[in-house]
Amino acid sequence: MIDFKEKFVNRRKLIKLFATGVAAALAPFAAKESDAKIDWEEYFQKHFKLMTKEEKEKLVKRLEQKYKEKYKKEFKVKISDAMQNVEFGYALNLSKCIGCRRCVYACVKENNLSRKPQIQYIRVLRMKNGEFDVEKSEHYYEPALVPEPGYFYFPVQCQQCKKAPCVKACPIKATWTEPDGIVVVDYNWCIGCKYCMSACPYFGRRFNRGEPVIPENEINTTVHYLGNRPRPMNVVEKCTFCIQRSREGKYPACLEACPVGARKFGNLLDPEDEIRQVIDNKRVFIFKQDLNTIPRFYYFFHD
Amino acid sequence: MLRKTKLLFLLFLFLFVYKNVFAKKEYPVPYPPLSPGIFPCMNCHEGLERNKKKRALKEMHQNIKIENHGDRWCYDCHDERNLDRLKLSNGEYVKFQESYRLCGQCHGNVYNDWQKGIHGKRIGNWKGEKQYLLCVHCHDPHSPRFKAMKPEPAPVRPDKATTH
């Protein structure tokens, strides 16, 4: 079964390779020798989860070299594993959120999201007070000042589900749940079929339909293989609770950017953690609970 | 020898009790959001007479007005003898780095939530060192109602997005 899948992937990637080969012939600058060598290795890369430590380290070197040539900057590509006894959770206080979108742009910057075409992991829905209806919500609101009277705001991003429909939908296991609960994508493995996107009920995933564009002076060079490293075109990507930060003990960027303190994050397994303080002491709810995806993302109302 | 161990034991016991019972918990905070150049206050106030009268300030601090903060006035919170610190209602003095204790006197529930991390915000590390934003990082102590702000731009509408 696995064998078949690996063959399948390699074949897909070979087709891709021939396509790029043609493109390379047309574009004189892309035909450098080092590029060619690097790309061959990428096409025959093993599945990330099946790689040995040495293979991963080699991969890191290769990527750092590749990014250096492409972006003219020194990158640090991390492959840090999940910490022991940690399962991440997130909670968002809807009484506090004012819909200012500071989180959206902090995320874009931290995670090297494409500015053009525009990709944003967080979408803030505006809803009328007393009317919780996603269908009637508005996310293009643009008043002079927020909050606006009569409305509340409902930010949505990947809910890092325990029973993630996106993971089940992937035909080639290019996306999976890590031991700390983060649902990740291997962009070197993803073939861009978008089945996961259709499977996600939360609009948690985004597709890179163009070559991602990031202003040179805003590139974040501290990256994780399974997170914010520069994405190739035609792959699916998503929020990873800032895996490059959270696995080092840091808060995600969206949390730190929130001016009202509506965002809470931490280890669900530690009763002293602020995330547990929220879940244990406040009435929390889960978005689209009836779908039974069991998110690790909670919402609550608390003044 | 025995006496020495006994002494040492007593010393540890004392330290333990002191740390857990008497010493109040301090929270690491970022530097208070004081205006540049305003601190130490006593640079100016050393030679100024205190004026407890409620009034519109004309010569200095013209921007300070007490709004949505009930009947408070300057020396309910600032120490009139030494303006470089704050004063609690029980007469205890606190540094600007501990102004949460001042606010906590009247906003006990919020203070409680703040200590648990539910109200307000912590930055830095979820695991390891973190800093607690002071109440005054988000609320102007003199006019504490949270101010409305300009939102960041809405996402580009798909119909308006170009293909490259």
B160 in any annotated domain: no
Query: Closest-CA residue in chain B for A96?
Result: B119
List the single residue in B119, B120, B156 with the smallest CB-CB distance to A118. B156
B82-104: pLDDT as tens digits: 999 999 999 999 999 999 999 99
A271-298: pLDDT as tens digits: 999 999 999 999 999 999 999 999 999 9
List the single residue in A140, A147, A246 with the smallest CB-CB distance to B157. A140
**Opening angle at CA B109, ends A267 and B103, nearest 5:** 105
A129-174: pLDDT as tens digits: 999 999 999 999 999 999 999 999 999 999 999 999 999 999 999 9
B:73-132 residues touching chain A, CB 8 A cutoff: 113, 116-128, 130
B42 in any annotated domain: no
Cβ contacts of A249 on chain B, cutoff 8 Å: 125-128
B103 in any annotated domain: yes
* Cα B4 from Cα B12, distance rounded (Å): 12
ipTM, two decimals, is: 0.84
Number of structural domains, chain B? 1
CB contact under 8 A, B155 and A249: no
* Interchain CB contact of A277 with B (< 8 Å): yes
Q: How distant is the Cα of B39 from the closest Cα of chain A, in angstroms?
A: 25
**What is the architecture of the domain spanning A88-301?**
2-Layer Sandwich (3.30)
Q: How distant is the Cα of B33 from the closest Cα of chain A, in angstroms?
A: 14
B92 in any annotated domain: yes
Map out the domains of chain A as residue ranges. 1-38, 88-301
Query: Does position A23 have pLDDT exceeding 80, yes or no?
Result: no
Q: How distant is the Cα of A34 from the closest Cα of chain B, in angstroms?
A: 27
Chosen for mutation from B27, B107, B115, B126 (greatest number of chain A CBs closer than 10 Å) is B126
Whether the CB-CB separation of B154 and A140 falls below 8 Å is answered with: yes
List the single residue in B125, B138, B152 with the smallest CB-CB distance to A250. B125
C-alpha pair distances (Å), A66 with each of A16, A38, A73, A227 = 18, 7, 10, 17
Query: Closest-CA residue in chain B for A91?
Result: B118
Q: Tell me how long chain B is.
A: 164
B130 in any annotated domain: yes
A:213-252 residues touching chain B, CB 8 A cutoff: 246, 249-251
C-alpha pair distances (Å), B13 with each of A102, A119, A204, B19, B64 = 49, 58, 54, 10, 48
B121 in any annotated domain: yes
B17 in any annotated domain: no
Instruction: Return the amino acid letter for A122.
Output: I
In this complex, how many residue pairs, one in chain A and one in chain B, have their CB atoms less than 8 Å apart? 104
A174-189: pLDDT as tens digits: 999 999 999 999 999 9
Its domain, for residue B132, covers 26-32+63-145
Q: Which of A280, A295, A269, A259 is nearest to A96 (CA)?
A: A259
Range A67-82 average pLDDT: 96
A226-273: pLDDT as tens digits: 999 999 999 999 999 999 999 999 999 999 999 999 999 999 999 999
B58 in any annotated domain: no
Query: Does position B20 have pLDDT exceeding 90, yes or no?
Result: no
A180-215: pLDDT as tens digits: 999 999 999 999 999 999 999 999 999 999 889 999
Q: How distant is the Cα of A100 from the closest Cα of chain B, in angstroms?
A: 4
